[in-house]
Structure 1
Amino acid sequence: MASWLPETLFEIVGQGRAPSKDYYQLVVTRSQVIFRWWKISLRSEYRSTKPGEVKENHEYFLENANLQVQVALIFGGRILDYISNLCRGKFDYLERLSDTLLLHIISYLDLEDIASLSQTSRRFAKLCMSDTLWEQIVRLACDNITSDMRALALDIGWRQIFFTNKLQLQRQLRRRKQNRKPTGAPVI
């Protein structure tokens, strides 16, 4: 399975915490962790500082506490955990799937499973609440989607359309049509 992975497993860039204006890049390849930095300073003693780079193989990165602290300070503990897992050979294949593909897969889940999945991470919560997902679910559940239903979905959202019972939906569509009808001719 690991042979299916691209050469670059992860890459992120960031800026140091204020007042620092230094830039950092972290790249995890199949065999190395590469940490680069660029000092940006108005102070004369740092003006001639050249960019730096540290390259460690995965095993040495896991043993290098100083580099791990730097990564955690700049990019956060979550990123450090993620790249540590990559270095240990624990790949999160779901993280690598595109949102479009995940939405397609999620659209075939039961409602209870979608609710459970939405509680697993911020990414899945966002995907499980997205209008794109609920539009797919409504399309799978309905034989015919009218232009009025699409317009109502733009107003209230596809998720709301799905959870609104048929009678209430018909009332909302009827009200919407009545509000669009022009009133009688103006009185002169």
Structure 2
Amino acid sequence: MASLLQGTIFEISAQAPPPSKDYYQLLVTNSTVIWRWWKISLRSEFRNVNPGEQKNSYQDFLDDLNLQVHVAVIFGHDILKYVCNLCQQQFDYLERLPEGLLLYIISFLELEDIARLSQASRKFKKTCNLDELWERIVLRYCDTITPEMQALALEVGWKEIFFTNKLQLQKKIRRRRQRVEDNAEDVPD
């Protein structure tokens, strides 16, 4: 599992709440927490201020309450809590699984569970909406997949094919067939 924690574990950046225009970045690697800031101001005393960076070990970050307050103000308490959990070695390994393995696992879930999982995080939402996953689901639930259905799926997506009722699917296939035929007639010999 340690191989899943190489490089950047977490990264977020945002502008400070108004009226400030300052910009901040928080980066968590496998051993350090990096806090970066850029002062953005029209005031002359801040025009020549260089960007800053503060690198802390996990324990130093947990001990630095001032920095934690800054993180909470800029990114919110949920992000602070998540970063503190990372610093306490409480990693979310499921979130770090390679996409192919995650797709394989998700393809065995029931549809209701996939819908719930897609609400867990941005990564799961993206993965649960991948065409590759829905192709596997369609192949699992449907008896026959015609070449016309496959061609239509390439146009509209496998998820759309799965959730379209039979009558609507037949209409879409007929429309697509007609479009292909019309385009074939327009092509000069």
TM-score, normalised to structure 1, is 0.73
Matched residue SS, 2:90? coil
Aligned to 2:76: 76
Q: 1:50-108: per-residue Cα shift (whole Å, max 9, x none)?
A: 33333332223223222112112223333222211110100011222344542333123
1:88 equivalent to 2:100? Answer: no
Matched residue SS, 1:135? helix
**Count of aligned residue pairs for this structure pair:** 182
2:49 aligned partner, one-letter code: T
2:109 aligned partner, one-letter code: L
Partners of 1:96 and 1:87 lie apart in 2 by 16
1:161 equivalent to 2:166? Answer: no
1:26 equivalent to 2:5? Answer: no
Identity score, percent? 62
Indicate how the Cα distance of structure 1 residues 120 and 32 shifts in structure 2: closer, same or farther if over 3 A, else same: closer
Matched residue SS, 1:24? strand
Structure 2 contact 4–96 (Cα < 8 Å) conserved: no
Indicate how the Cα distance of structure 1 residues 141 and 43 shifts in structure 2: closer, same or farther if over 3 A, else same: same
C-alpha RMSD of matched pairs (Å): 3.2
Aligned to 1:186: none
Indicate how the Cα distance of structure 1 residues 154 and 60 shifts in structure 2: closer, same or farther if over 3 A, else same: same
Partners of 1:3 and 1:158 lie apart in 2 by 33
1:66 equivalent to 2:98? Answer: no
Unaligned 5+ segments in structure 1 are 183-188
Matched residue SS, 1:12? strand
Partners of 2:50 and 2:176 lie apart in 1 by 65
Aligned to 2:6: 6
2:15 aligned partner, one-letter code: Q
Residue 148 of structure 1 deviates from its aligned partner by: 1.8
Residue 3 of structure 1 deviates from its aligned partner by: 6.1
Indicate how the Cα distance of structure 1 residues 49 and 180 shifts in structure 2: closer, same or farther if over 3 A, else same: closer
**What are the residue-to-residue correspondences of 1:97-176 with 2, within 5 Å?**
97-142=97-142, 145-153=145-153, 157-164=157-164, 169-170=169-170, 172-174=172-174, 176=176
Partners of 1:43 and 1:168 lie apart in 2 by 62
Partners of 1:91 and 1:30 lie apart in 2 by 10
Residue 134 of structure 1 deviates from its aligned partner by: 1.1
**What are the residue-to-residue correspondences of 1:15-54 with 2, within 5 Å?**
15-54=15-54
